[in-house]
Amino acid sequence: MFTDTHCHLYKEYYDDLDSIIYKIKKAQINRVINNGCDNLSNIEVLGNIKKYDFMYGAIGIHPDSADTYSESDLAYIKNHLNDDKVVAIGEIGLDYYWRKDNKDKQIELFEKQLSLAEEFDKPIIVHSRDATLDTIEILKKYKVRGVIHSFSGSYETACIYIKMGFLLGINGVITFKNCNLKDVIGKIDLSNIVLETDSPYLTPVPYRGQRNDSSHIFDIAKFICEIKNVSLDELSKETNANIKRCFDI
Ligand code: NI
């Protein structure tokens, strides 16, 4: 039994959500954490976690929306953090790959949500792209825990995040050719990782080019089992224990 700790299962990407959910459940994925990115998707996530029993929610504003979000979008998050099945604030963070010109705004948005995480004692799900140094410096200022989503950094960076108490979210990127993540995962303990798909993005090998969904957790899991020389059962036990520790589910 595996949990997809990071996916974006909403209408913008899936006009056939009910059939995708059926496919995921049939593939024996027992839980998914659906991550919002902006006000519209946050509203949808809250609706869907009521509809689908195996779905949990993370609500937050992605750095992509640093220029367009409003204070009422943040108030909406605050008002729903104690809702049933809302397990985290996410997806939040910094993205200097797409935008370097609005770093100040991205940092301001990130810090506002980190304050909320502190206030409500909620884990966070962090997006950090080409922004490792700033992400680490900012996270150090807050008493927060959570997942560094789509981790693909160096062993040294992995060690820093682990020491800070974060879990590393590993997805289909590990199956890509010439990816140094295999070596990093080889060196770190399974108590530090959780599995995710980032659906509909980052489809693992050999399904590149197709739309991703949470059932592909198994393709990622098998890959990691081979690197770590453990069974699927052991990997599922370890990662579910990490999820329990972090999200209390
Ligand atoms: Ni994502």
Q: What is the pLDDT of residues 61-88, one digit of tens each?
A: 999 999 999 999 999 999 999 999 999 9
- Given this model, what pLDDT does residue 206 score? 94
Q: What is the average pLDDT score of the chain?
A: 97
Distance 188 CA to ligand 1 centre (A): 23
| Mean pLDDT calculated for residue range 219-242 | 97
Assess whether pLDDT exceeds 90 at residue 179.
Answer: no
**Pick among 3.40.50.300, 3.20.20.140, 3.20.20.70, 3.20.20.60: CATH of 2-246:** 3.20.20.140
Distance 179 CA to ligand 1 centre (A): 19
Distance 90 CA to ligand 1 centre (A): 9
Tens of pLDDT, residues 10-32: 999 999 999 999 999 999 999 99
Distance 65 CA to ligand 1 centre (A): 13
% the chain with pLDDT above 70: 100
Assess whether pLDDT exceeds 90 at residue 248.
Answer: yes
Distance 72 CA to ligand 1 centre (A): 22
Protein residues with C-beta less than 5 angstroms from the ion ligand 1:
91, 198
Q: Where do we find the tokens 């809302």?
A: 86
Assess whether pLDDT exceeds 90 at residue 96.
Answer: yes
Q: How far apart are the first and last CA of the chain?
A: 14
Helices and strands (H and E) in the chain: how many: 9, 8
Distance 191 CA to ligand 1 centre (A): 22
- Given this model, what pLDDT does residue 148 score? 98
In sequence order, the 6+-apart residues with CB closer than 8 A to the CB of 8 are: 34, 35, 37, 41, 198, 199, 200, 201
Distance 34 CA to ligand 1 centre (A): 9
Helices 132-139 and 103-120, interaxial angle, to 10°? 30
| Mean pLDDT calculated for residue range 185-200 | 98
Distance 152 CA to ligand 1 centre (A): 14
Nearest residue to 172 via CA among 206, 148, 124, 147 = 206
Give the CA dihedral 116, 119, 125, 128, nearest 10 degrees. Answer: 60
Distance 8 CA to ligand 1 centre (A): 6
Tens of pLDDT, residues 23-57: 999 999 999 999 999 999 999 999 999 999 999 99
Q: Where do we find the tokens 């995480």?
A: 117
- Given this model, what pLDDT does residue 178 score? 84
